[in-house]
Amino acid sequence: MNIWKKGIVLLILLAIGLFGCAPQAEFIKLQDDLSTATRKQNQLQQRIEVVEGYLKDKTTTSQKGQQDIHRIIADLGVKIDQLSTDIQIIQGKLEENNHRISELAQRLDDQAYKIKELSAKIAAADGKPAGASEKAAAPPAPQEKGKTGQNPSDVYNRAYQDYVNGNYDLALTGFQAYLTEFPDATLAPNAQYWIGECFYGKQEYKKAIDALDKVAANYPKSEKISAATLKAGFAYLELKDKTKAKAYLKKVVDQFPNSKEASLAKGKLATIK
């Protein structure tokens, strides 16, 4: 492969890597902020309990002394209320960040696949198959076209780009067409997953859950199952069904303990009361 072509691939990989760092760093900072705010809230609550103990003590007979204690309790109560508000804001940001990290992870999976395709095309242009060095050159395997004569990569990429641009209806149509035309394609599980993401983006959470459940049902060996299960758990939370949300999130932790989705599921479970 020519040096400049290798450089293109390396630049793309570097861009993808940097793109993934920011949300994760923000997520860690928010977790630290939440821990700090919660600790301060607990400390204030302990101080209130101590002051209330003094107030109940019969030896505290001075009316002025009791008034001062009441004022201190009131001030501490205001501080606790403010911290509670701060904690709710941080938890909201954490939830939003969870969604962003999950979605970003799935985008990176698709981008990694595109990198492989790009490497194969560059290698083919050089007269070598991807991954070969001294081996004999071989032409890349042609992609099977669908009934409409379209290339599967083109159909998938158009649908995916529509999703990235927020055109969920167009993306839905594209991914559904992809599954109809190429039901056994390598990216069929991904297409099914993104159908669920499209419904989630449209806030049609029940339809999102149905679509995401089909990933495991139709593609039991797919690497997308953990991501689909996690997203379905988030969808149940949007529907205020905490019982099913917890069940789905725990399934991710139990069945995929070493995955990035398991880490996100644990974080979300910790915020559900």
Is residue 140, in this structure, part of any structural domain at all? no
Asked whether residue 137 is assigned to any structural domain, the reply reads no
Q: In 10 A of CB 228, how many CB atoms?
A: 29
Q: Are residues 2 and 125 in the same domain?
A: yes
Q: Which residues make Cβ contacts (< 8 Å) with residue 67, sequence separation at least 6?
A: none
Look over the chain and give the mean of its residue pLDDT values, rounded to a whole number.
Answer: 74
Domain match, 151 and 62 both:
no
CATH code: domain of residue 42: 1.20.120
Q: Which of 202, 181, 179, 200 is nearest to 191 (CA)?
A: 179
What confidence score (pLDDT) does residue 80 get? 67
Looking at the predicted structure, is the pLDDT value of residue 226 above 70? yes
- Give yes or no: residues 29 and 111 share one domain: yes
Residue type, 176: Q
| 98 and 172 assigned to the same domain | no
Q: Does 136 reside within a domain?
A: no
Phi, psi angles (nearest 5°) of residue 221: -105, 10
Mean pLDDT confidence for 85-108? 62
Answer yes or no: do 99 and 200 share one domain.
no
On whether residue 77 sits in a domain, the answer given is: yes
Residues 18 and 105 in one domain: yes
Per-position DSSP letters for 87-149, written without gaps between them? HHHHHHHHHHHHHHHHHHHHHHHHHHHHHHHHHHHHHHHHTS-TT-SSSPP-PPPPPPP-TT-
What is the distance between the alpha carbons of residues 24 and 27, in angstroms, rounded to a whole number? 5
Is there a contact between 203 and 197 (Cβ–Cβ < 8 Å)?
no
Ramachandran class of 5: left when φ > 0, alpha when ψ lies in -120 to 50, beta otherwise: alpha
How far is residue 273 from each of residues 83, 229, 237, 269, measured CA to CA in Å? Answer: 18, 20, 12, 8
Residues 107, 182: one domain?
no
Note the pLDDT tens digit of each residue in 155-203.
998 998 898 888 999 999 999 999 999 999 989 999 999 999 999 999 9
What are the contacts of 244-248 at 24+ separation with CB within 8 A?
A: 245/272, 246/272
104 and 165 co-located in one domain? no
Q: Check residue 35 and give its pLDDT.
A: 65
Residues 6+ apart with CB under 8 A from 11: none
**Rounded to 5 degrees, what are φ and ψ at 182?**
-135, 65
On whether both 21 and 127 belong to a single domain, the answer is yes
Full domain range(s) for residue 62: 1-131
The pLDDT, as a whole number, for residue 124 is 59
Same domain for 198 and 96, yes or no, is: no
Range scoring the smallest mean pLDDT among 10-19, 91-100, 206-215, 233-242? 10-19
Which residue among 66, 101, 131 closes a domain?
A: 131
Q: Which of 79, 96, 131 is the last residue of a domain?
A: 131
**Chain segment 102-116, per-residue pLDDT in tens:** 566 666 666 666 666
> Is there a single domain that holds both residue 84 and residue 180?
no
**CATH (domain of 236):** 1.25.40.10
Among 40-49, 55-64, 82-91, 134-143, the minimum mean pLDDT is found in: 134-143
- Is 139 among the domain residues? no
3-state secondary structure of 272: coil
Which of 100, 131, 162 finishes a domain? 131
Q: Residue 86, Cα to own-chain centre: how many angstroms?
A: 23
Question: Which pLDDT belongs to residue 134?
Answer: 39
Amino acid 1: pLDDT: 47
Total domains in the fold of the chain: 2
* pLDDT the model gives residue 136: 40
| 142-163 confidence digits (pLDDT tens) | 445 545 557 888 899 899 889 8
Q: Is the pLDDT of residue 244 over 70?
A: yes
Same domain, 98 and 150: no
Give the pLDDT of residue 4: 47
